[in-house]
Structure 1
Amino acid sequence: MTTTGTSTGALGGLLDGPPAVVAAGVDVFSGALRAQGVSVADVDWRPPGLGDAADLTALALDPRRAAANRTAVERVLAAGSVLVDVRPAREVLGMEGRTLLHSGPPLTWEAASGPMRGALVGACLFEGWASTVEEAEALLASGGVELEPCHHRSAVGPMAGVTSPSMWAWCLEDPVNGGRAYCNLNEGLGKVLRMGAFNQEVLTRLAWMRDVLGPLLARAVRSMAEPLDVKAVLAQMLQMGDEGHNRNRAGSLMTLRELSPALAALDAPSDDVAAALRFIGGNEHFFLNLGMPTAKLAMDAARDVPGSTLVTVMARNGTEFGVQTAGTGDRWFTGPAQTPVGLFLGDYGPEDANPDIGDSAIMETYGVGGFSMAAAPAIVRFVGGTVPDALATTERMYQLTLAENPAMAIPILGFRGAPTGIDVLAVARTGWLPQINTGMAGRVAGTGQVGAGLVQPPRECFEGALAALAQEARAAA
C-alpha cells in the first residue's frame, strides 16, 4: 500500500491522506475494497521461483527429461477408466485385521487433526472394534489399529478418506494400461464420516450403505451388458457445467441414468431399490468417488518413469500435504497443509476450518477440478471468487502443465483440452503453485462440513520434489 501526505512524524505521513492500494490476487479482494470507495490498482504479480537454483539448473539440463515427460504424458492421456465391480474393501484392498486407510501421506494418531480423528473414531465404532468414543480413541492411541494411506493400496478417499474393511468400494479398471483403482462410496454432504462426523446418524447411514446400497450396486454393476465408461462421463461433465471436484451434478445424474435400469431390474425389495435411487439422486457428489479413481488410474499409469518431472499424486491428510512424481516413484514430499479460503456454511467462519484434507486433489493432478474451473464458472458460488477468477485460474494452470488433454475439453475456451500433467520444473521456474478447490471440514472432531474454498500446496512439497529429481538427474549424468 502507498500513500501521500505531508507529515514528517514517526509514520512519515502514512495516515494523512486516503489510501491507494495495489492488489495482486483474485478479484474478490480488490472488489471488496472498491465497494468501500477505496482506490485499487490491480497488478499481475508472480512470486519468485522456488527451490535451489543449482537444483533447478540440474533438472533443466537433464537430457532424459523431454523424452521421459513425453512417455509419462502419453500414458496419462491414453488411460481409460471403466467400472467393473463393487466389492467390500476387505476383499479388494487386502485389509486384514484392524486396518483403516486414510487420505494423504502417512500419518499417526498423534499427528492426526480433528476431522481425521473423528473419521477414525467413527470407523472403529462402525466396525464394532469399540463401543464408545473413549474406547475407540484408546484403541487408536495404543496402536491397536493399523493406519495406512489409501494411495499405498491403489485407492483414493475424499476428505479424511477413511476406509474400513466393511465398506463397499468401487472397482475401476484401465483397459489400456491394465491398472486398477478403488474408492469407497460417497455418503453425501453435511455431517458425514469423511468430514469427521461420527454421530448416530452417520453410523446408521454407513450401516445402510453396507447392508443395502453396496450389495444392490454390486448386483447392478455386474448385470450391466457393458461396463460404465467413467472417463467418458467425466469428459461429458466438463461440457455440462461441472469441473469434477466440487461440482459433480451432471456427472452424478448421468451415473444415476446409467445405473437405474440395472437397479430397477434387480430381484430385490422395491423399498430398498427406491431408497437406493433416492439416495443417489439426492447426492450431488455421488460421482466424485468414481471420478477420483479414474484420475488415479491415469496418474498411476505414469509412475516410475526415470527423468520425468510430472506430478502423479497430490494428497492431504489434514496435517500434511504430500506429492509424488513419476521420476521418484512412491516417495512422498511433504509440507504443512494450508487452510482453504472460501465460503462458509451457516454461522461457521475461518476459525472453524481445518487445514486442507483429502485425496480428492487427484482431480487437479489429472487436470480437472481447480484446473478446469473455466468449464464450471458456477463453482465460484460454492468456493468463492468470481467468474473471471475461474477463467484466469485455468489459463494460469496451462503454464504449469506438460499437456492439454483433448478428452477433457473446455467449451468456453474453444474446446481446448484441460491443462494436464503438473510439471515440477514449471512450478519451480514460475513460483506459481497448483490451484485446488475443495471442501472444508470442521477443525473439531465430529463437526462435519463447514464450507468450501480454494487452497494451494505448500512450497515445501515442490522444493523437496525438485531437490530429489535434481539428485536423480546428477546421478544419471
Structure 2
Amino acid sequence: MVQERINKANKEALNRILSAQPTLVGIGKAQEVIPGMSKNTILHAGPPINWDDMSGPLKGAVIGGLIYEDLASNEEDAIALAESGEITFDPCHHNNTVGPMAGVVTASMPVWIVKNKTFGNYGYCTLNEGLGKVLRYGAYSLEVIDRLKWMEKTLAPVLKAALELSGEIDLKTMIAQVVQMGDEGHNRNKAGTSLLIRELAPHIVKTDFSDDDKANVLKFMHGNDHFFLNLTMPACKCTLDPAANIKYSTIVYCMARNGTEFGIRVSGLGDKWFTAPAEIIDGLFFPGYTSADANPDIGDSVITETTGIGGFAMAGAPAIVQFVGGTPQDAINYSTKMFEITETENNTYKIPALNFRGTATGIDIRKVVETGILPIINTGIAHKDPGVGQVGAGLVRPPMKCFEDALEAYVISLEEEGLV
C-alpha cells in the first residue's frame, strides 16, 4: 500500500523532470523580472542564513553587492548596512532563482530568463563574470564592481538585443549536445559556451551597438569558458521546480549550499530544508593556496547534479579531472555509481562513454541512506576570507545527515497518517 503510493508519486516527479523543456526567452533586470525583488533585497545561494552566520565569501559578495547598488560607498558602510536589519536576505531558491558560489543577486543585476515550456514556470540567474577575483567568490575590489557595471550597461543590453533577433533558444537540446561534446554542465562549459556564441554571434553583429561594444561582448564570452554555466543552472532550476510538493515522493528536487550549511529539499516534504554543516572540498589549488585557505562548500550550482548532469555526467567529460583532480577512470566510476542512488536514466542527457546511457536522474533519499552512497559534486573553491576570490576547484559530497534527517521526517509523516 505505502510502496504503491511512493512508486506512483516518484513516477510523477520523474515524469515532470524528464518532460521539462527549459528555454532561454530573454534577459531582464532582477528587480523587474524576479517576483518580490526590491532594492533592499539580496538573494543568496543555499538555504536561509542571517548575516552573522554567513561565511567569508558570502559576506564579501554581499559587501560587493551593496557597493554595486550604490547603497554603500565602502566596505565599512556596507557591513554596517548589512548588520542594520534594513537589508532582506533571502535564498535564491525561494525566488525561482539560482546563484553560483555566493549566489548574490541584487536589484540592478541583469539575469537570464529561462522558461520551462512544459509547465510555464521560470528560472533566473545572473550572467557569469568569469573566474578568479569575481563577486560570486566574495571579491569586491574596484575591478570587480567595474566589471559588473559593464555587464549591466553593455553586455546585457547587447545580448538582450541579440536574443530579440534570434528568438528563443532551446536549452534542453543544447545541454544534450554539450554533454556529448565533452562538457558535464557544471565545471566544464567549453562546448556550451562555444555553442552559445555560435547561436548568438550572427545576431550580435546585427544589433545597433557600436563595433567596439559588439567586439568586446564577443571577446568576453570567448574568454570565459564558464559563461554557459549560468544557463545550465536556471535550466536545471526550472526543470526541477515542478517536481516539488508531490505527496509521498522521496525524490530530491533541490540541493544547495551557502558556505556554512548544505541543504536539501525533498518533493514529498514540501519546502522544508534539511541542513548540516557544509564540507571542505577535496581538490586542486591555485599556486600559493592550500586547503587551509578553503571555505566550505558553497553555491547553488549543485542544481546541475540534482538534475543529473554536473558530477553525475563526468564520465562524458574526462578532461574535467584536470580541473578538479582524479583520473578519467575516476570520472567514469563517479557517474556509474550514481545509478545506485537514483530512480531512472535521463531520456535526453546521454553519455557516449557509457554507450549513450542516460545520466543518473532522480536522487532518492531512501537509496542514499540505504547504500551510504552520497551524490558526487564537482565545484569551485572559494577562499574562506571575504575579498579574495577563487583559490581552486575539486570534488565534494553532501553531509549524510541531510538525507538521514529527511528520511526520518518522511517516516514520521507516514506514521502520522497511520501508514506505517
TM category, shorter: over 0.9
1:286 aligns with 2:227: yes
Q: Which residue of 2 aligns with 1:56?
A: none
Q: Which residue of 1 aligns with 2:113?
A: 171
| Partner residue of 1:319 out of 260, 264, 271 | 260
Q: Which residue of 2 aligns with 1:138?
A: 80
1:217 aligns with 2:192: no
Q: Which residue of 1 aligns with 2:403?
A: 462
Shift of 1:432: 1.0
1:432 aligns with 2:373: yes
Shift of 1:63: 3.6
Shift of 1:385: 1.1
Q: Which residue of 1 aligns with 2:6?
A: 65
Structure with higher Rg: it is 1
Q: Which residue of 1 aligns with 2:334?
A: 393
Question: Aligned partners of 2:408, 2:164: CA distance in 1, in Å?
Answer: 46
| Partner residue of 2:144 out of 190, 197, 202 | 202
Shift of 1:473: 2.0
Question: Aligned partners of 1:284, 1:98: CA distance in 2, in Å?
Answer: 32
Q: Which residue of 1 aligns with 2:204?
A: 263
Question: Aligned partners of 2:155, 2:226: CA distance in 1, in Å?
Answer: 16
Shift of 1:195: 0.3
Percent identity between matched residues is 50
Over the residues paired in the alignment, what is the CA RMSD in angstroms?
Answer: 1.0
Q: Which residue of 2 aligns with 1:183?
A: 125
Secondary structure of residue in 1 paired with 2:269: coil
1:303 aligns with 2:244: yes
| Partner residue of 1:342 out of 276, 283, 292 | 283
Shift of 1:280: 0.7
Contact 2:31–2:39 (CA under 8 A) maintained in structure 1:
no
Secondary structure of residue in 2 paired with 1:284: coil
Contact 2:378–2:396 (CA under 8 A) maintained in structure 1:
yes
1:416 aligns with 2:357: yes
Q: Which residue of 2 aligns with 1:102?
A: 44
1:122 aligns with 2:70: no
Shift of 1:179: 1.1
Question: Aligned partners of 2:371, 2:314: CA distance in 1, in Å?
Answer: 21
Contact 1:62–1:307 (CA under 8 A) maintained in structure 2:
no
| Partner residue of 1:381 out of 302, 310, 322 | 322
Q: Which residue of 2 aligns with 1:406?
A: 347
Question: Aligned partners of 2:270, 2:165: CA distance in 1, in Å?
Answer: 37
Contact 1:442–1:450 (CA under 8 A) maintained in structure 2:
yes
Letter in 2 for 1:189: L
CA deviations 1:213-251 (Å, max 9, x no partner) are 111111111222x41111111111111111000000000
When you count helix as a share of all residues, which structure comes out higher?
2
CA deviations 1:365-394 (Å, max 9, x no partner) are 000000111010111111011111111111
Secondary structure of residue in 1 paired with 2:379: strand
Letter in 2 for 1:173: K
Letter in 1 for 2:99: G
Contact 1:62–1:473 (CA under 8 A) maintained in structure 2:
no
1:446 aligns with 2:387: yes
Shift of 1:472: 2.1
Question: Aligned partners of 2:2, 2:206: CA distance in 1, in Å?
Answer: 60
1:111 aligns with 2:53: yes
Question: Aligned partners of 2:213, 2:319: CA distance in 1, in Å?
Answer: 34
Question: Aligned partners of 1:166, 1:187: CA distance in 2, in Å?
Answer: 15
Shift of 1:475: 2.9
Secondary structure of residue in 2 paired with 1:155: coil
Secondary structure of residue in 1 paired with 2:80: helix
* Residue segments in structure 1 that go unaligned for 5+ positions in a row: 1-59
